[in-house]
Amino acid sequence: MFKELKKQCLEANLMLPNLGLVIQTFGNVSIVDRKKRCFAIKPSGVPYADLKKQDIVIVDFDNRVVDGAMNPSSDTKTHAYLYKQWKNIGSIVHTHSTYAVAWSQAQMPIPILGTTHADHLVTDIPCIPPMDNELIKGDYEYNTGVQIKDYFSSEKLNPKEVQMVLVGNHGPFSWGENSKKAVYNSQILEELAKMAYLTLQINPIAPKLKSTLIEKHYQRKHGANPYYGQKK
């Protein structure tokens, strides 16, 4: 019943170590099936080298295991909450990639310094403040999802346009319309974090990218009349 969904989820998860975005058992990818109101996600604590299709866990939006013998990722409640709140996302990725985590531990957004950044979004990559103590003591993983959604609402950020975020003292989350795009965004987030770090090592007062360049690079890929790449 869920063979294809599990296959896609396995393949997406195995991309993370291949791209250098995870070590050991860190991180996870989930893929949603909107019609069946459930999603596939990596099992908790399983090394990527040992991961098999049958290990992938199917969970509904209320965090109940629908199919699978293993415990789902400890971040499952975060994924479930975001799927319920944001209807247009099809996959979520969470990693502990080095440079993105460094920015989240510094509790700083990743500034938009160059055109590589502007090719993907027109703002800094946001960093959400660390969670309040009472929320940490409560339903922590669920509250992480609430924290992300509430921050986007309060800052008037559109998750279709800003498909990546840092959670303060925790790490990066990214998403997309499918697993390929979500993993791509995770890789881009890590590279932008690395580029920004190196730029500020060379020049600690490097200025942000000028607005005309931001507009040009974003619009040529994502605007009404894009001309980057090939016609579909």
The residues carrying an active-site annotation are 119, 228
Sole residue written with tokens 């003591």 = 137
Token pair listed for 227: 């001309």
Distance of CA 214 to the CA centre of its chain: 22
Handedness of CA 206, 185, 128, 20 (dihedral sign): negative
Residue 193 burial (CB count, 10 A): 23
Handedness of CA 60, 62, 27, 221 (dihedral sign): positive
DSSP string, 12-26: HHHHHHHTT---TT-
Cβ atoms of 218 and 123 closer than 8 Å? no
3-state secondary structure of 40: strand
Q: Are strands 164-167 and 127-128 parallel, antiparallel or unpaired?
A: parallel
Measured in degrees and rounded to the nearest 5, phi and psi for residue 72 equal -70, 170
Distance CA(193)–CA(154), nearest Å, equals: 24
Token pair listed for 89: 């996302």
